């Protein structure tokens, strides 16, 4: 039964990585269209951390550290992108 949980963890981390890549694409589009620096390249870091965590889960190891680090970085980057797109000043 532990294999089912590992499979669900792996697929959910892969899905999180795909969603992170969609934020990468949104940030890139916004930067190209509106000439505002969005730091879209940094979205590749949490996507890579989610993939690493998924591989660790698939191999039977605990990838919670990589997944949590990716989630924390993604949260910060998403807030920054939101503020840039909504033109919220500091």
Domain boundaries, the chain: 2-85
- What DSSP string describes the chain? -HHHHHHHHHHHHHHHHHHHHHHHHHHHHHHHHH-----GGGGHHHHHHHHHHHHHHHTTS--HHHHHHHHHHHHHHHHHHHHHHTT---
Q: What is the pLDDT along the chain (90 residues), one digit of tens a residue?
A: 457 778 888 999 999 999 999 999 999 999 999 999 999 999 999 999 999 999 999 898 888 999 999 999 999 999 999 999 999 876
Give the number of C-alpha atoms closer than 13 A to the C-alpha of residue 1, restricted to the C-beta side.
0
């Amino acid at each position: 039964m532990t294999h089912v949980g590992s499979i669900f963890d792996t697929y959910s981390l892969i899905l999180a990585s795909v969603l992170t890549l969609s934020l990468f694409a949104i940030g890139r589009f916004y930067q190209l269209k509106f000439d505002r620096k969005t730091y879209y390249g940094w979205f590749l870091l949490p996507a890579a951390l989610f993939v690493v965590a998924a591989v660790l889960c698939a191999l039977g190891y605990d990838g919670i550290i990589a997944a949590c680090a990716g989630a924390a970085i993604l949260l910060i980057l998403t807030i920054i992108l939101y503020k840039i797109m909504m033109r919220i000043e500091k």
